[in-house]
């Protein structure tokens, strides 16, 4: 047998490896919004990927005092908009204390780039502080 001849199982392994590599690259190229939140000495991470419908995206509890929702509407090829919502979590219901909208064009980058800068929000009778910042990566030009 010729030592350069590939058997069907060898071809299948090569094809599988190439497919896996392509999927990894596609996953890395998809836009990712990462927000880091701090409250009462604890840090929380919230990530968002593109969605077609923003309404089912849940808010995240931050220390029992705040809720945070990050929504990126669009797809892997184009982001329509990004919205960030911060709520003070009260006994009756969450109260919106900040809504921020970010519209394209977004800077193209494979590495994280700052989207928000550092935000300081205060709420409640004793003015509790929530600090957050968000980065965006994987945006195509």
Is-contact 61 37, C-beta < 8 A? no
The arithmetic mean of pLDDT across residues 18-39, rounded, is: 69
- Between residues 23 and 42, which one has the greater pLDDT? 42
| pLDDT > 80? residue 11 | no
Is-contact 128 65, C-beta < 8 A? yes
Separation CA 117–CA 131 (nearest Å): 10
Separation CA 11–CA 20 (nearest Å): 14
pTM over 0.95: no
Q: Which stretch of 2-6, 14-18, 22-26, 100-104 has the lowest confidence by average pLDDT?
A: 22-26
Mean residue pLDDT of the chain comes to 86
Separation CA 38–CA 134 (nearest Å): 12
């Amino acid at each position: 047998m010729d030592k350069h001849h590939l058997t069907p199982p060898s071809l299948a392994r090569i094809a599988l490896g190439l497919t896996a590599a392509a999927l990894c690259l596609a996953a890395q190229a998809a836009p990712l919004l990462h927000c880091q939140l701090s409250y009462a000495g604890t840090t929380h991470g919230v990530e968002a990927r593109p969605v077609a419908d923003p309404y089912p995206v849940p808010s995240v509890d931050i220390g029992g005092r705040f809720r945070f929702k990050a929504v990126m509407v669009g797809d892997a090829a184009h982001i329509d908009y990004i919205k960030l919502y911060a709520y003070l979590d009260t006994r009756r219901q969450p109260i919106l204390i900040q809504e921020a909208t970010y519209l394209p064009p977004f800077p193209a980058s494979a590495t994280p780039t700052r989207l928000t800068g550092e935000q300081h929000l205060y709420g409640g009778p004793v003015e509790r502080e929530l600090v957050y910042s968000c980065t965006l990566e994987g945006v195509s030009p």
